[in-house]
Structure 1
Amino acid sequence: MASDSDGAAVWGALGSGFRDRVAVVTGAAGGIGLETATALHEHGARVVLLDRNAPLLERSAAALPGAVAMPVDITDAARVAEVFAEIAERYGPVDHLVHAAAVITARPLLEQDAEHWHRVLDVNLVGTFSVVRAALAQMVARGSGTIVAVASDAGFRGGGGLIADAAYAASKAGVLSLVKSVAREFAGRGVRINALVPGPTDTPLHDGVPDELKQRIAAGLPMGRMGRPDDMAAAILFLSSPAAPFVYGTALDVDGGSMLR
């Protein structure tokens, strides 16, 4: 995993707490989800990869010996509950949840309709609720576990920009609020939940964005480049690890200084 810093050394210091733990990663067929699943696998976690793209998910899991691929559409709340029950039965209760599944859209507001909003919110917000609820039930029953939900800086600053529209921004603002709400309601129950807030990140979700536009976005960031999936995976591992025992209910910006603008 390429990185400006020695990410492997950092992960080595944090990763001992993942050995033999059951880690579920959504959106794991590619991008931030796959990079995080790979990092957890490298540190000995028993990784379960979830994604709706079954063929790509199977190929991704095949590169991680012992990892399990379970195709699921997170907009189907009943199926999400079934999958998490199956995970607990086959592998044990979930110790770590990384929720990275999402869709990103960049449509001008006057070209959006109710169908567009429902689709984006069903995946990004309602899907987050379904996944978090399913994992949380197992963690609360056991009195331990960690959850990291991937949000976006668009949830703070709003959409209508070059690569994120109002529907996407609203959905990610909802994710941030959901994380805070869960943290308040379940304080003292042994479960830590936090949000990761990426800035502009070059993932497969942006495959349709022209390189020239990506270069313009990168030039406007203080660090001079867009984020990468391994940047996000390193932060997620920190939030999920024993190295962050007092990090709770927070939204961690990993954005190359984007919020400074």
Structure 2
Amino acid sequence: MIDTYATFANDCFADRTVLITGAASGMGLETARAFASKGAEVVMCDCDEDGLQHHSAEIRKTGANIHAVTVDVSDESSIKRAFDYCDENLSRLDNVVTCAAIITAKRLFDQDWAHWQRVHAVNLFGTFFTVQAAAKRMLVNPFGGNIVCIASDAGVHGGGGLIADTAYAASKAGTLSLVKSVARELAGKNVRINALNPGPTDSPMHSHIDQSLKERIAANLPIRRMGRPDDMAAAILFLCSDAASFVYGAALDADGGSMFR
């Protein structure tokens, strides 16, 4: 099997830190593994306390420096506690990746007010307050920092209710605008922020998609397969690396070609 991260030196994130939300499964978990394998000190955050403790212990066995902090990103006070933990336990905060999200696939007339509130509380509001807390700390970090927000190809071409619905797509479109807006405000201040647009990815987040639909999705992608969590983690490593020092306020498409279908 190809080592997705072989391009990156094993110590390329040595002496650097990263906080990752949504780190108990899927893309967030794989991103935690990827950073740990490259020498980073990793703060794994998730609302799934059992999954968080299990997987953080698993990664810790490799010798990595891992912290596990239970966080509900739909609760601003919970986000604050996570960053307070970083202030108390890390020498500085270099990278933040906002993987925490929920995906929903409801038809237009099945979506009510509570549904939109729930989706946006996690996907958009949670992302904003995580970015806000990260930027506050990175602005006083002499090394600056990097923020990567996970958006979606659905934020560009819409949902539709089969894989993702209107509420989800709108929250991810909001995330893309958030990244552009924050990038404008932080210009010249040594803090980079970028977005990642994953395409259809075979991960626990897409457990609502049955196998036959996954096969149809893969067949319709130019690359002829769905994405994997390690595809996304590799793109995140790049965006946080020194190789991406001139990438700013951008949205990187890691979508198997879904954007130009």
Q: Could you tell me the TM-score, scaled by structure 2's length?
A: 0.95
Q: Which residue of 1 aligns with 2:258?
A: 258
Q: Which residue of 2 aligns with 1:248?
A: 248
Distance 2:68 2:5 in 1: 25
Q: Would the aligned equivalents of 2:106 and 2:161 in 1 still touch at CA under 8 Å?
A: no
Q: Give CA deviations for 1:87-119 in whole Å, capped at 9, x if unaligned.
A: 121112211001100000000011110000000
Segments ≥4 residues shifted beyond 6 Å: none
Q: Which moved more, 1:153-162 or 1:244-253?
A: 153-162
Q: Which residue of 2 aligns with 1:109?
A: 108
1:7 aligns with 2:12: no
Percent identity at matched positions? 55
Q: Which residue of 1 aligns with 2:21?
A: 26
Distance 1:16 1:55 in 2: 30
Within a 5 Å distance, the mapping from 1:35-50 to structure 2 comes to: 35-50=30-45
Offset at residue 222 of structure 1 (A): 0.4
Q: Would the aligned equivalents of 2:103 and 2:168 in 1 still touch at CA under 8 Å?
A: yes
Offset at residue 81 of structure 1 (A): 1.2
Distance 2:5 2:67 in 1: 24
User: Structure 2: any 5+ residue segments left out of the alignment?
Assistant: none
Distance 1:233 1:84 in 2: 22
Q: Which amino acid aligns with 1:151?
A: A
Q: Which residue of 2 aligns with 1:86?
A: 85
Within a 5 Å distance, the mapping from 1:1-261 to structure 2 comes to: 2-3=1-2, 6-12=3-9, 16-65=11-60, 66-143=65-142, 144-261=144-261
Question: SS at 2:242's partner residue?
Answer: coil
Q: Would the aligned equivalents of 2:34 and 2:233 in 1 still touch at CA under 8 Å?
A: yes
Give me the CA root mean square deviation.
Answer: 1.1
Distance 2:236 2:174 in 1: 19
Distance 1:233 1:181 in 2: 24
Offset at residue 206 of structure 1 (A): 1.1
Q: Which amino acid aligns with 1:165?
A: D
Question: SS at 1:97's partner residue?
Answer: strand
User: Structure 1: any 5+ residue segments left out of the alignment?
Assistant: none
Offset at residue 17 of structure 1 (A): 3.6
Q: Would the aligned equivalents of 2:45 and 2:71 in 1 still touch at CA under 8 Å?
A: yes
Distance 1:9 1:57 in 2: 26
Q: Which moved more, 1:104-113 or 1:135-144?
A: 135-144
Distance 1:173 1:165 in 2: 12
Distance 2:211 2:254 in 1: 22
Distance 1:137 1:92 in 2: 15
Distance 2:49 2:250 in 1: 32
Q: Would the aligned equivalents of 2:105 and 2:164 in 1 still touch at CA under 8 Å?
A: yes
Q: Could you tell me the TM-score, scaled by structure 1's length?
A: 0.95
